[in-house]
Amino acid sequence: QQPVQSPQAVILREGEDAVINCSSSKALYSVHWYRQKHGEAPVFLMILLKGGEQKGHEKISASFNEKKQQSSLYLTASQLSYSGTYFCGTETLKAAGNKLTFGGGTRVLVKP
Amino acid sequence: DGGITQSPKYLFRKEGQNVTLSCEQNLNHDAMYWYRQDPGQGLRLIYYSQIVNDFQKGDIAEGYSVSREKKESFPLTVTSAQKNPTAFYLCATQQGAGTGELFFGEGSRLTVL
């Protein structure tokens, strides 16, 4: 089952902050975050393992609350290069191995 | 250079025809995935393979078939049974069979005329 992302879209001015949320109905082992520019393949940003850790990539950071089965991606002091569609991918523990299921994406547009 | 090669980049097909999309990797990664992306939408898992000669259905496997005869290759066949095959198809690899970063190919855009 796909994780649910919110909001579906967000428009920012350069330098503003934004939060993207990712929620799952299943217990999670890990959460991945990727960014996709138009017409390109998704690019890995970070992965969070269960344990509530927080990670960062430039001024983009994320948290993972395994009890709530949620992850949030924080875009801080956004730059024009942050524009794109952000996807969370979730892994649940399975005996046969993990598979990664993606959310519907959040479109981010950063304006000058 | 190490990487993932998908071909063809663009493909047009007539209704009723089967087509095969190629995905080759030289990263020596164990796991390989096929995702479908429709305009403005997320990535939906078609099939995945953790090891050679083994693969599992994803969330939207109907109308698709795969094989994993070699570690480097994971071709996807879009059959005539797939009712709405026009989409962007992405192949991805993962180093181990467990958790880790996904590496994506450049994608193949299939259009059914």
- B22 to chain A, any CB pair closer than 8 A? The answer is no
- State the pLDDT at residue A54: 63
What kind and span of H or E run contains B55? strand B54-57
How far is A15 from A76, CA to CA, in rounded Å?
7
- State the pLDDT at residue B8: 95
A80 DSSP assignment: G
Give the B window 31-90 contacts with A, CB below 8 Å.
31, 33, 35, 41-45, 48, 50, 56, 58-59, 90
Residue A91 is encoded by which pair of tokens? 């892994």
How far is B37 from B107, CA to CA, in rounded Å?
10
Q: Chain B residue with minimal CA distance to A42? A: B104
For residues A74 and A17, the answer to whether their CB atoms sit within 8 Å is yes
Residue A42 sits at the vertex; the CA angle it makes with A41 and A43, to the nearest 5 degrees, is 115
pLDDT tens-digit profile, chain B (113 residues): 669 999 999 999 988 899 999 999 999 999 999 999 998 788 999 999 999 999 999 989 999 999 999 999 999 999 988 888 999 999 999 987 666 889 999 999 999 98
Q: What is the pLDDT of residues A9-54, one digit of tens each?
A: 999 999 999 999 999 988 888 899 999 998 888 999 998 887 666 6
Least CB–CB distance from A103: residue in B35, B42, B94: B42
More confident residue, B82 or A55: B82
The pLDDT-based confidence of A56 (bands split at 50, 70, 90) is: low
